[in-house]
Chain A
């Protein structure tokens, strides 16, 4: 009961926004996470999330130098999307040394960001980007999250069957005339956008865990791609909300609380699956 009265107090707006953005982000997490897990591009998502820091660093530097209105978010989008496109192209074209190139992009973009941050005068709270600042969210982030959900839901609902066949059997889909590359790169851009917004919730370090754990857990219990997306969305919502409330009650950092909870449920899911197969 004390939680509800706490939530209703005017000075608790930060917690209301955190819960709202967390719940809204679960749609993006569930759908994009399912695609990342089934297409096995979690290393690409990792590169994109770390590359966001490169863009943030560059944006903060330019902000001070010439463009005072430039938001770090714009830099994050440019960094993440460019990294996703580079890695995605490498994924398609180069069969060799794919993992090396992913790691190079990952480290290079991030290092560039840290260099720019070093050149930026004054104090920069870059730890906020690494670990998230969910308790500093405002109405703007709520609207951006709603926008992202729509941006991800619309193509998924419209082109579900094309996405399914592209993810399951790329060659066959291409032979049947599906525009696999267009769908693939659209998914990459959406993944990068989702990652940038989710960095607000848990930060660069933990965003991949939050993206993949609910989807991987859902994969243990579902037989369709769509039901995996739905279950992953529900699980994401539960993890984020429960993790936030837990961190509030027990005075813990929210990002790690969410990820520890999600990991425990995932391990349970794996165990359940192994047990079911033996019976």
Chain B
């Protein structure tokens, strides 16, 4: 499916606020070109989830415009594979792994019947995630890491061009996390992957962009996002070692301070 442009995601002057009145995101402008992958980082409550929900068309911005694959987000949904956090799902639900992955084959106008091709695609997605043997298991019996892989397989079964992963390393054990990073490196060669994480460990990996979200959004080249840049941006000592939570405190702290040159550049 040829997309009209090489721009995967484009936001211009997007603002969004919930009913409480406090803006969750303000004047957000950035774009992501085809073939580049990014990690959305920032403190809890800083607007990461809001940004993701805007990209999926689950929320509509009060101001500004969002284009995904050159279309409105709702129209771009068939090209997006989305992986939610597994603990948002009912842990006791009676459903097997294979049935979960098949859900990725649903599409607009779907009348409730899967074809043989759908089943083959679901099996392929399970093989790609290295878990074909889990297919007949009950979803609720799996470990956190296994559930995460099943949900990525479901997103891959959509045959997406953009993969959106919500906190993929939250609540999984370190072994599974390491395995997950490996998988991600493979997927990035084939599609645009945007990962939401409160974990700056991602920044160390082979990603192209670091998207910092804290009401405002700044985008940095990952290669240039060294400890020095981080210090410059955050006006504080930031340590880019895995599981570094210092950054969040700094992000919070920065709210009251004037905009940095980088912010101005990305925001205007």
Chain B associates with chain A: yes
- B154 and A164 contacting across the interface, CB-CB below 8 Å: no
Q: Of A162, A171, A223, which is within 8 A of B94 by CB?
A: A223
Q: Of B78, B84, B94, B106, which is within 8 A of A227 by CB?
A: B94
User: Contacting chain B: which of A104-112, A172-180, A237-245?
Assistant: A172-180
Say yes or no for A52: interface residue by CB 8 A criterion.
no
Say yes or no for A161: interface residue by CB 8 A criterion.
yes
The CA-CA distance from A174 to B89 in the complex, in Å, is: 15
- B77 and A175 contacting across the interface, CB-CB below 8 Å: yes
- A161 and B113 contacting across the interface, CB-CB below 8 Å: yes
Would you list which residues of chain B between 79 and 107 have a CB under 8 Å from chain A? 80, 82, 84, 89-90, 92-96, 99-100, 102-104, 106-107
The CA-CA distance from A158 to B58 in the complex, in Å, is: 27
- A168 and B103 contacting across the interface, CB-CB below 8 Å: yes
Q: Which residues of A contact B109 (CB under 8 A)?
A: 177
Q: Which residues of A contact B92 (CB under 8 A)?
A: 219
Q: Which residue of B lies closest to A176 (CB)?
A: B106
Q: Which residues of A contact B56 (CB under 8 A)?
A: 175
Q: Which residues of A contact B113 (CB under 8 A)?
A: 161
Q: Which residues of A contact B99 (CB under 8 A)?
A: 164, 224
- A168 and B80 contacting across the interface, CB-CB below 8 Å: no
Say yes or no for B112: interface residue by CB 8 A criterion.
yes
Q: Which residue of A lies closest to B57 (CB)?
A: A175
Q: Of A167, A172, A177, A227, which is within 8 A of B93 by CB?
A: A167
- A228 and B108 contacting across the interface, CB-CB below 8 Å: no
The number of residues on chain B lying at the interface, defined by a beta carbon within 8 Å of a beta carbon of chain A, is 31
Say yes or no for B138: interface residue by CB 8 A criterion.
yes
Q: Which residues of B contact A174 (CB under 8 A)?
A: 58
Chain A: minimal CB distance from B185 (Å): 25
Q: Of B95, B108, B112, B158, which is within 8 A of A168 by CB?
A: B95
Interface size class for chain A?
A: 20 to 34
Chain B: minimal CB distance from A213 (Å): 16
Q: Which residues of B contact A224 (CB under 8 A)?
A: 94-96, 99
- A175 and B82 contacting across the interface, CB-CB below 8 Å: yes
- B94 and A172 contacting across the interface, CB-CB below 8 Å: no
- B106 and A177 contacting across the interface, CB-CB below 8 Å: yes
Chain A: minimal CB distance from B143 (Å): 14
User: Scoring A residues 201 to 225 as 1 if CB is less than 8 Å from chain B, else 0, what string do you get?
Assistant: 0000000000000000001001111
Q: Of A40, A160, A222, A228, which is within 8 A of B112 by CB?
A: A160
User: Scoring B residues 56 to 89 as 1 if CB is less than 8 Å from chain A, else 0, what string do you get?
Assistant: 1010000000000000000001101010100001
Q: Of B103, B107, B110, B111, which is within 8 A of A172 by CB?
A: B103
- B103 and A222 contacting across the interface, CB-CB below 8 Å: no
Chain A: minimal CB distance from B123 (Å): 17
- B78 and A172 contacting across the interface, CB-CB below 8 Å: no
The CA-CA distance from A222 to B94 in the complex, in Å, is: 7
- A225 and B108 contacting across the interface, CB-CB below 8 Å: no
- B106 and A228 contacting across the interface, CB-CB below 8 Å: no
Say yes or no for A125: interface residue by CB 8 A criterion.
no
Q: Which residues of A contact B110 (CB under 8 A)?
A: 161-162, 176-178
The CA-CA distance from A172 to B107 in the complex, in Å, is: 11
The CA-CA distance from A169 to B109 in the complex, in Å, is: 18
Q: Which residue of B lies closest to A178 (CB)?
A: B106
Q: Which residues of A contact B158 (CB under 8 A)?
A: 176
Q: Which residues of B contact A250 (CB under 8 A)?
A: none
Chain A: minimal CB distance from B221 (Å): 30
Tell me which of A169, A171, A177, A224 has the highest count of chain B C-beta atoms within 10 A of its own C-beta. A169
Ordered by A's residue number, 8 sampled pairs between the chains whose C-beta atoms are within 8 Å are A38-B90, A165-B106, A168-B93, A171-B84, A176-B103, A177-B77, A177-B78, A224-B94
Closest 10 CB pairs of A and B: A177-B108, A176-B106, A223-B138, A165-B103, A161-B112, A159-B112, A228-B94, A162-B112, A175-B77, A222-B94
